[in-house]
Amino acid sequence: MKYLIDSWAWVEYFNGTSAGVQVKNFLEEDEIYTTILNIAEVISLAKRRNQNHEAIYTAMAQRSKMIDILPETSKNAGLIHAEMRGKKSGFGMIDAFMLAVAKKMNAKIITGDEHFKGIKEAILITK
């Protein structure tokens, strides 16, 4: 199985929470991916929290394969975003990119983000 780790999951993992322990179990699998957008989001949060963002970046790079965003994925993310905003208030653009990538790769998104509740491509982790 392919797993796409979202920003929420990475943050929980690095903060060592009980949800982060659940994320750690997925990180031990073979096919772990992270989008470049999630890297930016996690690094921004780490910097704002005065955490060691270099160590966090290195860990993300070592524990997952990086997924670049292609123009077609951007188009698909835009379509998903427009559709999901009609269903779920606050569904973010990065969430739409995650869903577009997961669909393209036939992967499961590891997250605790409630915006993914009821989405078949997501595995929701609870705190």
Query: What CATH number is given to the structural domain containing 79?
Result: 3.40.50.1010
Residue % of the chain over a pLDDT of 70: 100
> Which are the contacts of 53, defined by CB distance < 8 A and separation ≥ 6?
43, 46, 47
Nearest residue to 113 via CA among 100, 101, 123? 123
pLDDT at 29: 80
Q: Do the beta carbons of residue 11 and residue 42 sit within 8 Å?
A: yes
Q: What residue numbers bound the domain in which 56 lies?
A: 2-124
Max Cα distance, the chain (Å): 38
pLDDT at 30: 78
| Rounded Cα distance, 82 and 126, in Å | 27
pLDDT at 109 over 90: yes
pTM over 0.75: yes
| Rounded Cα distance, 20 and 92, in Å | 22
pLDDT, one tens digit per residue, over 25-72 is 999 887 999 999 999 999 999 999 999 999 999 999 999 999 999 999
| Rounded Cα distance, 63 and 65, in Å | 7
Q: Do the beta carbons of residue 23 and residue 110 sit within 8 Å?
A: yes
| Rounded Cα distance, 53 and 43, in Å | 6
Q: How many domains is the chain partitioned into structurally? A: 1
Q: Do the beta carbons of residue 24 and residue 56 sit within 8 Å?
A: no
